[in-house]
Amino acid sequence: MFKYCLAAALASTVVASPVFAQDAGPAATEPSFSGFKAEAVAGISEEVFVGGALGYDWQKGRFVFGVEGEATTSVEKDCEVLTPSFQDRVCLKLGRDLYAGGRVGVVLGRGTLLYGKAGYTNLRLKDTYDPGTSGGTAFEFTRHLDGVRVGAGLEQKLGSNAYIKGEYRYSNYESNNWKHDGLVGIGFRF
C-alpha cells in the first residue's frame, strides 16, 4: 500500500506541474522559492501520520537551499491479541516524530522544484500491554529513538505563494529501527 500512496502523491505533483507552469505572457515572472514557509503534511509509513513543518529557503539562480523543521504524529496504533481466551493484547504506537535538517534543490521549470533532504530525526515509540481478563498487570513503556533521515521530493508552486509537494523519505533510527514514508504536503511561502 505504501508504494501506491507514494506513487499517487508524486503523480499528483507531476500532473499539476504543466497546469500551473503555463506562461501567462511576456509579463510573467519566474516564481521564487525564497522565503519563510509553513506547511501541513500527511502520509503513510507503517501507520498514517499527520503534522506540520516550518522552514526557510534561499534561491540562487536555478538552485534552492533550505533549512526545515517538522513535527508529525501517528493517528493509529498496531495491536495484537496474545491469548484469544484472555483477550490480552500488546500495542505499538509510533508517536511524535521530530525532524530538523536541510534540503538542496534545482528548479526544473516554471514553479517546479526537485529536491533532496537530510537531517536528524527523533521518534517516540509507545508499547502498551492490556491484560484483558488474564489478571495480569497492564504496563506502558515509552522509548525515544535518535536517527538520520534522507529523502527526495517534488514541489509545485500554485500561484505566487502556495505550493503542493510529494515526498519520499527513509529514516534510520538507533536499535535497528527504520521506516519508509511517503507524504503529501500543502504549504504557503511568506
CATH number for the domain whose boundaries are 2-20+34-189 = 2.40.160.20
Q: What is the pLDDT of residue 112?
A: 96
pLDDT of residue 86: 87
pLDDT at 153 > cutoff 50: yes
CA distances from 67 to 15, 55, 111, 125 (A): 27, 5, 19, 26
Please classify residue 129 by burial: count the beta carbons closer than 10 Å to its beta carbon, then call 0-12 exposed, 13-18 middle and 19+ buried: middle
As a whole-number percent, the residues of the chain with pLDDT over 90 amount to 62
Of 122 and 31, the one with more pLDDT: 122
The pTM (predicted TM-score) of the whole model is 0.78
Average pLDDT along the chain: 86
Q: What is the per-residue DSSP string for 12-51?
A: HHHHHHHHHT----TT--PPP--EEEEEEEEEESSSEEEE
Domain ranges of the chain: 2-20+34-189
Note the pLDDT tens digit of each residue in 1-32.
444 444 444 444 444 444 444 444 333 456 68
pLDDT (0 to 100) of residue 30 = 66
